[in-house]
Amino acid sequence: MWGIFEKTFNIAKQALKLRSYKHSLLASNIANVDTPGYRRKDIPFEKVMQAYLSNKGLPLKTTNPKHITGKPTSIKEIAETYKENTLGTPNNVSLEEEITELIQNQVLYEATLQALAKEIERLKEAITEGGR
């Protein structure tokens, strides 16, 4: 019976991990708003989750036939392949934009938690046969 719910819980777990990682990047951008030469960092949540869900991952770039051609397996490894370390010019952090993105990310994190709680309620109801 766990197999039916395992996929939903795994997707929610990975989404929460990725939202948390994005949150730390945005917080870092805010903390470095006045740091000379700092360039904002971010990851495209939708693209990373799509790559994870498609289970294809991103192939590693190879320049030699002897290179490993494996695919990233964890959500963090996939996120690292998408991470843009140099977005724009130095000192390109806009405090207002970063705070807006941080709040939006937090709201989506909480929405994911609420969806997970609803799924747990449904599982509990199924186990108790609707409270009978």
Q: Which DSSP string corresponds to 54-93? A: HT---PPP-SSTTS------SHHHHHHHH-EEEESSTT--
Q: How far apart are CA 27 and CA 99, in angstroms?
A: 8
pLDDT 10s digits, 67-107: 555 555 566 677 776 666 555 566 778 899 999 999 999 99
Span 40-47, mean pLDDT? 88
**What's the pTM value of the predicted model, to 2 decimals?**
0.73
